[in-house]
């Protein structure tokens, strides 16, 4: 009597909580941008709302990944949409803060970071089926420090008066320092990623299996 071949595991449905949270982050992007730039970025209330939206986006980014891995709900949609959602919300933060600050150095950081982020994301998605580019520790640190810096800068630190005036300025300086650290980590983690891609260039040149 021949052994029965086990049926292949069924792929998880795209209709799940992690993908819903990822979609929520994408939907939140224009609302975040509107709140951040409302009244030229001078509205204290709108900036606090923008920070709250950004905070929700960062928390759901952590939660949806944990749920997907723990419950076996990793899908192709999630693999594509999750990094897009991340880059969309952080990209909006960089652009919005550059508009508000209107300084050459902030725009320089923004352009370099966005070029690096989208280049890595698009390349990672394009080679996903052929090679595995592991996430480096520097990339994880970059994400954490970048999120903290952007979150703090989203707050109306320089727009408050009275007792919060000096603390706001102190936190703003700290946030700028974190932003510079995140920028350095962005460059280094990008270098590590492209170095790994170069090491695996032979696999990338090989035709993908049908």
pLDDT digits (tens, 9 = 90+) for 176-193: 999 999 999 999 988 888
pLDDT at 49: 97
Answer whether residue 1 shows pLDDT above 80.
no
Domain-wise residue ranges, the chain: 17-201
73 or 162: whose pLDDT is higher? 162
* Calpha distance 168→152 (Å, rounded): 10
Cα(139)–Cα(144) distance, rounded to whole angstroms? 9
The highest-level CATH class for domain 17-201 is: mainly alpha
**pTM of this prediction?**
0.85
**pLDDT one-digit tens code per residue, 98-156:** 999 999 999 999 999 999 988 888 887 776 556 666 666 777 888 899 999 999 999 99
């Amino acid at each position: 009597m021949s052994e029965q071949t086990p049926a292949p595991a069924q792929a998880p449905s795209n209709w799940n909580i992690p993908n819903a949270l990822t979609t929520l982050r994408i939907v939140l992007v224009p609302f975040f941008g509107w709140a951040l730039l409302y009244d030229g970025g001078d509205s204290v209330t709108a900036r606090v709302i923008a920070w709250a939206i950004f905070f929700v986006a960062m928390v759901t980014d952590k939660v949806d990944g944990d749920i997907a891995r723990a419950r076996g709900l990793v899908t192709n949609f999630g693999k594509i949409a999750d990094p897009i959602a991340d880059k969309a919300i952080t990209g909006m933060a960089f652009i919005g803060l550059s508009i508000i600050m209107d300084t050459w150095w902030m725009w320089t950081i923004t352009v370099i970071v966005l070029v690096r982020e989208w280049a890595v994301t698009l390349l990672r998605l394009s080679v996903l089926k052929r090679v595995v580019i592991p996430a480096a520790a520097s990339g994880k640190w970059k994400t954490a420090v970048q999120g903290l810096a952007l979150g703090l800068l989203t707050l109306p630190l320089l727009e408050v008066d009275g007792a919060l005036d000096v603390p706001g300025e102190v936190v703003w300086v700290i946030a700028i320092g974190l932003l510079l650290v995140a920028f350095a980590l962005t460059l280094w983690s990008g270098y590590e990623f492209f170095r790994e891609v170069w090491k695996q260039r032979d696999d990338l040149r090989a035709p993908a299996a049908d």
